[in-house]
Amino acid sequence: MRKNFQTWIMQHHAGGAVKFNEEQMNWLRMLRDHIAHSCHVDRNDLDYSPFDAQGGLGKMWQLFGEGMDPLLDELNEALVA
């Protein structure tokens, strides 16, 4: 799982792609850990721990905007594969 996550991050940071900032990376690590335990994450999970303590769905939307749902889909696919 960690290797898949690292590969996925490196692919996003390659070339001219927008790089994730530190706050986004913290959220991505929380999502990775959630997927490791649950094998899946979706926007409903953001209402629960540990996400709720960090601002939940609203904070994730603030950090990732309209790219949030596609990002969740990508993470689910990349990390569980």
- 46: exposed, middle or buried (Cβ count in 10 Å: 0-12, 13-18, 19+): buried
Which residues span the domain enclosing 45? Answer: 29-81
User: Is 50 within a domain?
Assistant: yes
Domain count, the chain: 1
User: Is 59 within a domain?
Assistant: yes
User: Is 2 within a domain?
Assistant: no
User: Is 47 within a domain?
Assistant: yes
Chain segment 15-72, per-residue pLDDT in tens: 777 789 999 999 999 999 999 999 999 999 999 999 999 999 999 999 999 999 999 9
pLDDT value at residue 5: 95
Which residues are within 8 A (CB) of 68 and not within 5 positions of it... i.e. 6 or more apart?
43, 60, 61
State how far the Cα of 54 lies from the Cα of 49, in Å rounded to an integer. Answer: 9
Q: Please, are residues 56 and 46 in contact by the beta-carbon 8 Å criterion?
A: yes
